[in-house]
Amino acid sequence: MSDDHPVCPFCPFSDPDASFVEEHINFCHPENGIPESESTPPHFTRSTSSQPPTDSDSTDQYVECPYSCGEIVTSAEISTHIDLHVAEGVALDENGSIQSPPNAGHVSSDYDLPSDQDDNFDLASSKKGGKRGMDRDVTRANSSKPSRARSPPGTVGPDGVKRLGRSELGPHAHEKKMPSWLKKMLEKGGRTTKQTQITADGKLARHTTVENETDNLIPTIAKLCEQDSSVQRAFLCSPKVRHICKMSREGGFCGYRNIQMLVSYIRKAQQPGHEHFSEGGPTILELQDKIELAWDMGFNSTGRTETGGIRGTRKFIGTPEAQALFKSLEIPCEASSLSESDKYRAYDSLYMEVATYFRQNISLEDEKRVFVTDLPPIYFQHQGHSMTIIGFEIRDNGSANLLVFDPMFKTSPAMQRLIGTSARSDNPARLLKAYRRGASYLQKYKIFELLRLYPNNAASAAAT
């Protein structure tokens, strides 16, 4: 990042666009820490979760999202969360020029790409956990008789596994069941609409869209990367993955939404295991049932004791649950854990592994700047949140970004308008903000986890 970029005086936030910085300060750092009433979105609250503290992890302060999206995030994450809400609200005017919402945000990075490194592991034998704080002990995973204990918070179950608390399972760590209105909303799913479109061969085709799902985004992102002169090279996964985000007021089901995105790729690419989803993508409630069944089968089964069970609740899930689900359905996958070492920062190792993944079978002598591959997307986990990695880019200043589908944020109106077009934009970098995660975001975390699917050919090789 250039030293002359405007910088927020209250936090590390920086952006080449001075208006973004000014709007960030106005919203995120107003006088007394409370937004002025004129700029405060409806239903804003600074209070912590109404649930009383009941365990040693209750010092985590949860804050309700001021955009009324239903998310309750830690106070340390609220600024970044708001900035990304701004990015999802970017629209285009009738002339195709970008129109920003009243407040704006940014995610950028400064990174010199080091040499490649690989650090694969199996969550079934690792002492590093998933979404729940990365301190989760899964060394007893895949036991032949999964425990059904529902131990009180902070206690140890009959199988020697500790029950987790709010810092790992989220603000609803101890609820026995989700509200009935939420369950009904999840059962119903996103609102669908049907349209008749003319195909390339001149035929009429009926097309169904779901309000919280967006197809064909990868080609649009690739075209925007081509237009962004700061991108030296970009690598993207298969266009067959669909961006799936949460519905309004849904809350924190990010782990499930990322599983759904991987399933969208599996179904459309006819990958191993697609037959399990012949009737469409699984709902969150169906995924909860499948994960509980995977525990019954002995896959990462300590998750039941650690969580107290997830069926019908809003408890966070993580990489171990995603891995257990795919393994129980005989969908080939592998997991890797990346942490800080004497030689590399955690996000250095993350960048190296993701870069190695997307560069496979690509000649670096190729003069193309943007590559769209047939590779599956990657399930990506850090403490408190998970996303789906859809690509990797190297910038002309030596920095790098992950490209992600974040289930916490919807596709912006501007991106919706560009899908299926030449995707010409007078400011591609601003449209790509919502999909970029760089060092300024990643440096806050000390451990990352990846879960990768094997494509058809790799799955066959792994089986032999």
Res 434 pLDDT > 50: yes
Beta-strand pair 370-372/231-236? parallel
pLDDT at 317: 95
Q: Averaged over 352-376, what is the pLDDT?
A: 91
Stretch among 123-132, 156-165, 237-246, 253-262 having the lowest mean pLDDT: 123-132
Q: What percent of the chain is modeled with pLDDT above 90?
A: 46
Q: Where are the beta strands (DSSP E) in 302-369?
A: 333-339
**pLDDT tens for each residue of 269-320:** 999 999 999 877 899 999 999 999 999 999 999 999 999 999 999 999 999 9
> Phi and psi (nearest 5°) for 319?
-55, -45
* Two tokens, residue 51: 């649930």
Cα gap 56→98, rounded to integer Å: 47
**pLDDT tens for each residue of 118-162:** 334 444 444 334 444 343 433 333 333 333 333 345 567 666 778
Of residues 153 and 370, the one with the higher pLDDT is 370
Q: Are 219 and 372 in contact, with CB atoms under 8 Å apart?
A: yes
CB-based burial label for 352 (10 Å; 0-12, 13-18, 19+): buried
pLDDT at 185: 92
pLDDT at 229: 94
- Helix axes 180-188 and 284-296, enclosed angle (nearest 10): 100
Stretch among 32-36, 178-182, 277-281 having the lowest mean pLDDT: 32-36
Q: Where are the beta strands (DSSP E) in 83-203?
A: 91-92, 98-99, 120-121, 192-198
Closest CA to 46 of 69, 64, 28, 32: 64
Which band of pLDDT confidence, cut at 50, 70 and 90, is reported for residue 203? confident
pLDDT at 63: 72
Distance from the Cα of residue 149 to its chain's centroid: 30
Helix (H, G, I), strand (E, B) or coil at 344: coil
Phi-psi region of 212 (alpha: psi -120 to 50; beta: other; left: phi over 0): alpha
Q: Averaged over 365-380, what is the pLDDT?
A: 93
**pLDDT tens for each residue of 75-119:** 666 766 776 666 556 554 444 455 544 443 333 333 344 433 333
* Average pLDDT score over the chain: 76
Q: DSSP character for 376?
A: P
Q: Are 138 and 281 in contact, with CB atoms under 8 Å apart?
A: no
Contacts of 14 (CB under 8 A, 6+ apart): 1, 5, 6, 7, 8, 21, 106, 108, 440
Cα gap 366→323, rounded to integer Å: 35
Q: Averaged over 455-463, what is the pLDDT?
A: 52
Cα gap 156→309, rounded to integer Å: 15
Cα gap 387→93, rounded to integer Å: 30
Res 374 pLDDT > 70: yes
Helix (H, G, I), strand (E, B) or coil at 382: strand
Extents of the domains making up the chain: 18-99, 180-463
Beta bridge partners of 13: none
CA atoms within 13 Å, Cβ hemisphere of 442: 30
Q: What's the pTM?
A: 0.73
Q: Averaged over 208-228, what is the pLDDT?
A: 92
Fold type of domain 180-463: Cathepsin B; Chain A (3.90.70)
**pLDDT tens for each residue of 393-406:** 999 998 999 999 99
Distance from the Cα of residue 118 to its chain's centroid: 22
Contacts of 265 (CB under 8 A, 6+ apart): 237, 238, 240, 241, 242, 271, 376, 377, 453
Query: In which residue are the tokens 């080449």 written?
Result: 16
**pLDDT tens for each residue of 294-307:** 999 999 999 999 99
Cα gap 41→85, rounded to integer Å: 12
Q: What percent of the chain is modeled with pLDDT above 70?
A: 63
Q: Where are the beta strands (DSSP E) in 65-201?
A: 72-74, 91-92, 98-99, 120-121, 192-198
CA atoms within 13 Å, Cβ hemisphere of 260: 27
Angle formed at CA 171 by CA 166 and CA 175, multiple of 5 degrees = 90
Q: Averaged over 347-376, what is the pLDDT?
A: 91
> Phi and psi (nearest 5°) for 192?
-105, 150
pLDDT at 212: 87
* Two tokens, residue 46: 């600074």
Res 262 pLDDT > 80: yes
pLDDT at 209: 76
Cα gap 231→461, rounded to integer Å: 34
